[in-house]
Amino acid sequence: MEPNTLLDSVLDEAGISHAGLAAHINEAGRARGMKLRYEHTAVARWLKGQRPRGQVPDLICEVLGERLHRALTLDDIGLGTPGSPRAPATPLSGFVERATALWRSDEQQRPHVVAAPAVTGTPAVIPVWEWENPPEDSDVSRRGLTRVSMADIDMLRAARAHYEQLYRKAGGVATRARVVGFLNAETAPLLRGSYPDATGRQLHRATGGLVAIAGICAYDSDAHGLAQRYFHQALRLAKASGDRGLGAYVIALLVNQSLFMKEYRQAVAFAESALRASGSHITPALAADLYAMQAKAYARLGDGAGALSCIRRAETAADRIRPGQEPDETGYVQPGLVNVQVAEALLSLGDLGGAREHATAAVGTPAHDRGRVHRLAMLTHIALRQGDADRAGATAVEMTERARGMESRRLRDRLRAVREHLAESGSAATAEAAELIDGALRVPL
């Protein structure tokens, strides 16, 4: 059950409260001979995704339409026919309205949107299936009030790069509000603007990269349902742009989230879809990351042969990475990233020696602070598994110092996990590091 952001947006535009809508629905029902006793709690359930019964959806259209002085359809308020198939050929205008409604609800911190759980099973798979399969968008042009120029698109690209760097330095908690505010203030008007097909494809590509950053920040803030919806939006934007490589990058983000949620089979399937559908459009960096994440998933499933096969493919792809020949989005695949992914897979398979070799290589390679924290955490864990308390303690101290000032739920999770492992070792060499982590965790986000 997904939050109804369209209804939320129309309610906000009409300036009517939950209790006010319920009262007006009851009154409109009485005019039709119906005895309705709705309260604000019913409206809250509708916003969370529950569908009203009987004629109530039509009454909502009637009440809100009169308030806004325009006719509203069930699709306008997110209450179209239930069970109807989702079609990738749905006009982009409808998608744009749904997407911008979500951005608005996120900026306003609507609880039913921010706290929504991630979907699993078929609802999680459908957006990936739609991206991979026909039909494609034959024309993404649009007529609006504002003409979109290449300068506007360059602005979106620059914003994506800016917010990505901010995320790496400060974390997703601090960055999310900024990128979502930019989506609402700057990006939404452009999507509703006027542009020919060629410009529209570049606009949708630039927007897709920016929306993906919003998803990353939501993921880093523990808002997993929201993150997933942003990733699905970015995937739809990638399809509209015609850029298969961008779609594969977005799926890599979904693979990473699937691994976090322990949906290992889904992670394998998603990665395979990206590798298959992007074909020659996939870059060495992205292929390396997808294969490395597949290796982690196979290792978690206990499939050693599958994991080792993917490790070999990841290393082969990593050897083909050439700086300056990758799109901006795959800049996160820095030297050493594949090593730390492989180290995690080997650790799950029980190969401590191989895991330490790869983790040491990862730590010895320059990386931004966020990436370095994860690499140091992995090396700390492996050192503890091998009984090397001195190395584990020293590495954990460096990890904690690097993490200071970052507002990230994912990094805090990593610190907590390392703290638990240090405490379990019972060594004096790890006590200082554990105390340092305790102090870092006491700083609220």
Burial profile 49-75: b = 16 or more Cβ within 10 angstroms, e = fewer: eeebeeebbbbbbbbbbebeeeebeeb
CA dihedral 151, 152, 155, 156 (to 10 degrees): -140
Q: Is the pLDDT reported for residue 90 higher than 60? A: no
Per-residue pLDDT reduced to its tens digit, 333-370: 988 999 999 999 999 999 999 999 999 999 999 888 89
Please report, rounded to a whole number, the percentage of residues in the chain having pLDDT higher than 90. 71
Report the SS3 class of residue 82.
coil
Per-residue pLDDT reduced to its tens digit, 375-397: 999 999 999 999 999 999 999 99
Residue 257 and residue 271 in contact, taking contact as beta carbons nearer than 8 Å: no
Q: Is the pLDDT reported for residue 63 higher than 70? A: yes
DSSP 273-332: HHHHHHGGG--HHHHHHHHHHHHHHHHHTT-HHHHHHHHHHHHHHHHT--TTSS-GGGGG
Residue 365 and residue 336 in contact, taking contact as beta carbons nearer than 8 Å: yes
Per-residue pLDDT reduced to its tens digit, 273-293: 999 998 888 999 999 999 999
Q: Can you state the angle between helices 5-14 and 92-107, rounded to 10 degrees?
A: 70
pTM of the predicted model as reported, rounded to 2 decimal places: 0.85
Per-residue pLDDT reduced to its tens digit, 240-258: 999 999 999 999 999 999 9
Per-residue pLDDT reduced to its tens digit, 129-146: 999 998 899 999 999 988
Q: What is the pLDDT of residue 291?
A: 98
Q: What is the pLDDT of residue 86?
A: 44
* DSSP label at residue 195: B
Q: Is the pLDDT reported for residue 81 higher than 90? A: no
Task: Locate 159 and state its tokens.
Answer: 């914003």
Q: Can you state the angle between helices 244-260 and 197-220, rounded to 10 degrees?
A: 10
Q: Is the pLDDT reported for residue 270 higher than 60? A: yes
Q: What is the pLDDT of residue 82?
A: 54
Per-residue pLDDT reduced to its tens digit, 404-438: 889 999 999 999 999 999 988 888 878 989 999 99
Give the residue carrying structure tokens 């109807």: 84
User: Among 30-34, 47-51, 78-82, 234-238, which is the least confidently predicted range?
Assistant: 78-82
Confidence of residue 91 (pLDDT cuts 50, 70, 90): low
Q: What is the pLDDT of residue 258?
A: 97
Per-residue pLDDT reduced to its tens digit, 213-242: 999 999 999 999 999 999 999 999 999 999
User: How far is residue 396's CA from residue 53's CA, in Å, rounded to a whole number?
Assistant: 56
The mean pLDDT value for 17-37 works out to 90
Burial profile 79-100: b = 16 or more Cβ within 10 angstroms, e = fewer: beeeeeeeebeeebeebbbbbb
Q: What is the pLDDT of residue 112?
A: 85
Q: Is the pLDDT reported for residue 93 higher than 80? A: no
User: How far is residue 252's CA from residue 238's CA, in Å, rounded to a whole number?
Assistant: 13
Residue 26 and residue 38 in contact, taking contact as beta carbons nearer than 8 Å: yes
Q: What is the pLDDT of residue 375?
A: 96
Q: Is the pLDDT reported for residue 85 higher than 80? A: no
Per-residue pLDDT reduced to its tens digit, 182-193: 999 999 999 999
Q: What is the pLDDT of residue 213?
A: 98
Task: Locate 155 and state its tokens.
Answer: 């602005």
The mean pLDDT value for 172-186 works out to 97
Residue 187 and residue 156 in contact, taking contact as beta carbons nearer than 8 Å: yes
| Distances from the Cα of 64 to the Cα of 12, 93, 315, angstroms | 10, 21, 57
Confidence of residue 88 (pLDDT cuts 50, 70, 90): very low
Long-range contacts of 7-10 (CB under 8 A, 24+ apart): 7/46, 7/47, 7/60, 7/77, 7/78, 7/79, 8/47, 8/101, 8/104, 8/105, 8/110, 8/112, 8/113, 9/100, 9/101, 9/104, 9/105, 10/64, 10/68, 10/72, 10/76, 10/77
Average pLDDT, the chain: 92
Confidence of residue 92 (pLDDT cuts 50, 70, 90): confident
Confidence of residue 79 (pLDDT cuts 50, 70, 90): confident
Per-residue pLDDT reduced to its tens digit, 108-127: 998 888 999 999 888 899 99
* DSSP label at residue 142: B
Higher pLDDT, 264 or 331: 264
Residue 267 and residue 293 in contact, taking contact as beta carbons nearer than 8 Å: yes
Q: Is the pLDDT reported for residue 87 higher than 50? A: no
Most confident range, picked from 45-54, 319-328, 334-343, 417-426: 334-343
